[in-house]
Amino acid sequence: MKRIYLDNAATTALAPEVMEAMLPFFMEQFGNPSSIHAEGRSARAAVEKSRRNIAKAIGASPAEIFFTSGGTEANNTALKGTVRDLGVSRIITSSIEHACVRNSVLSLERGEAVQVDFVRLDAFGRADLVHLAELLAASDKKTLVTLMHSNNEVGTLNDIVAIARICEQYNAFFHTDTVQTIGYFEIDVTKYPIHFLSGSGHKLHGPKGIGFLYVNKNIHIAPLIDGGGQERSLRSGTENVSGIIGLGKAVELALSQMPNWREQITALRNHFKKELEINFPTIISFNGDVEGKNHYKVLSVNFDAPVAADMLMFKLDLAGISVSGGSACSSGALKGSSVLLALGVPTKLKTIRFSFSHYNTREELDRTVDKLKEILK
Ligand SMILES: Cc1ncc(COP(=O)(O)O)c(C=O)c1O
């Protein structure tokens, strides 16, 4: 029987349209975009078209988009570049950022003696904006605020428009990790002052190993990776042409389908949530702002059951169902989730993250509920 994939916050299947767009760039149009001959020019034209697509999707100009190897590199480039080149000596962040942000901030705290302050979170994991303003008002140090748009484990959305405005008021730089939300929510950098944001192909049915960093045109940071000066010298290395084409196509597709897919995925998530509530009324609870401003693809569920979380995942996996406990981004390791800990989820609860895509069906979700009934009976 076909496996049921409910781990779409970890990664997504490549869309056939994306695959089709990428294929010519492996064998026919294999040129190096820096070469001046026909093969090179054709690759360059395709790369720039992709850049224009991505820029258009977020209201940026193409010169503000830099291709990277993914969300991790994009976030590292922004955070480390800001501290190194823009005179930043303080970072305000949260305790539930993705590891690539969290560990970049910790490395800057150690190596560059940057002061790090943590904004208070509410019970859903949303940044407390009053506290953010207080923190900003409390110091004259040049500050970078880095807060993610959607948390990858529980799906809570931060109000990045309000955060951007507060940062502007206190003359702070604002970086937001939008890896989980690009292609799922409207993002328009012309409407509010964002200095940096990041995206990653594999979260929206594009390829792995490709992402981008948006850098506001008034900002100039030095590269993390030096070399031949590609990506207007911010990110050297021969471009991942097929990946870039795939990312551009995935963003274009996600944008054109956003209302449909959003409706479809929301309906799947609501159906699944309702079925869980009907079948496990006394042993389940949810994390994040499930009924409010949450990512519609994520449902983080706590089970109060005498079965270890890894065993629950393992049994689902054996039954052909892929889910994740906490975040899969820390190399799939089953160590305690710092996000759930920060949100005060009791450690005795077993948490499973179900995350959906428009490729899922109701029938798959019903089968998952049946299997959970078997395992938890
Ligand atoms: C919120 C968030 N930021 C960053 C990343 C890292 O992106 P990438 O896998 O492209 O390096 C991930 C996922 O892995 C993520 O969920």
Q: Classify 116 as helix, strand or coil.
A: strand
**Cα(68)–Cα(186) distance, integer angstroms:** 22
pLDDT at residue number 238? 97
Q: Classify 121 as helix, strand or coil.
A: strand
Degrees to nearest 5, angle at CA 214 with 62 and 96: 160
> 241-279 and 38-58 helices cross at what angle (nearest 10)?
40
Q: Classify 42 as helix, strand or coil.
A: helix
Atom of ligand 1 at shortest distance to CA of 200?
10
pLDDT at residue number 329? 40
Contact 234, 212 (CB under 8 A): no
Q: List residues bridging with 212 in a β-sheet.
A: 67, 199
pLDDT at residue number 303? 94
Contact 367, 373 (CB under 8 A): no
**Cα(78)–Cα(199) distance, integer angstroms:** 12
The finding on whether 328 has its CB within 6 A of some atom of ligand 1 is no
DSSP states along 183-243: TTB---TTTS--SEEEEEGGGTTS-SS-EEEEE-TT-----SB-SS-TGGGTB-S---HHH
Give 72 Cα–ligand 1 centroid separation in angstroms.
6
- 3-state percent breakdown (helix, strand, coil) of the chain, nearest 5: 40, 15, 40
Give 139 Cα–ligand 1 centroid separation in angstroms.
31
Give 179 Cα–ligand 1 centroid separation in angstroms.
6
pLDDT at residue number 110? 94
Q: What Å distances lie between residue 270 and 30, 152, 265, CA to CA?
A: 44, 19, 9
pLDDT single digits (tens) 156-190: 999 999 999 999 999 999 999 999 999 999 999 99
The finding on whether 152 has its CB within 6 A of some atom of ligand 1 is yes
The finding on whether 71 has its CB within 6 A of some atom of ligand 1 is yes
pLDDT single digits (tens) 47-95: 999 999 999 999 999 999 999 999 999 999 999 999 999 999 999 999 9
Degrees to nearest 5, angle at CA 174 with 169 and 180: 135
Q: Which residues contact 195 (CB under 8 A, 6 or more apart)?
A: 78, 82, 173, 174, 175, 215, 216, 219
For residue 128, how far is the Cα from the chain centroid? 20
**Cα(122)–Cα(111) distance, integer angstroms:** 30
pLDDT at residue number 330? 43
Question: Is the C-alpha dihedral spanning 49, 257, 8, 106 positive or negative?
Answer: positive
The finding on whether 180 has its CB within 6 A of some atom of ligand 1 is yes
Degrees to nearest 5, angle at CA 87 with 115 and 71: 75
Strands 173-177 and 143-146: parallel
pLDDT at residue number 335? 65
Longest dimension (CA), the chain: 67
Q: Exposure of 95 by Cβ count < 10 A (0-12 exposed, 13-18 middle, 19+ buried)?
A: middle
| Catalytic center residues | 329
Residue among 77, 100, 204 whose CB has most ligand 1 atoms within 8 A, to mutate = 100
Q: List residues bridging with 200 in a β-sheet.
A: 211
Give 204 Cα–ligand 1 centroid separation in angstroms.
11
Closest CA to 79 of 69, 91, 70, 67: 91
pLDDT at residue number 336? 77
pLDDT at residue number 123? 95
Per-residue pLDDT 10s for the chain (377 aa) are: 899 999 999 999 999 999 999 999 999 999 999 999 999 999 999 999 999 999 999 999 999 999 999 999 999 999 999 999 999 999 999 999 999 999 999 999 999 889 999 999 999 999 999 999 999 999 999 999 999 999 999 999 999 999 999 999 999 999 999 999 999 999 999 998 999 999 999 999 999 999 999 999 999 999 999 999 999 999 999 999 999 999 999 999 999 999 999 999 999 999 999 999 999 999 999 999 999 999 999 999 999 998 888 889 999 999 999 999 854 344 445 567 889 999 999 988 999 999 999 999 999 999 999 999 999 98
The finding on whether 98 has its CB within 6 A of some atom of ligand 1 is yes
**Cα(254)–Cα(257) distance, integer angstroms:** 5
Q: Which residues contact 194 (CB under 8 A, 6 or more apart)?
A: 160, 164, 174, 175, 176, 214, 216
pLDDT at residue number 199? 98
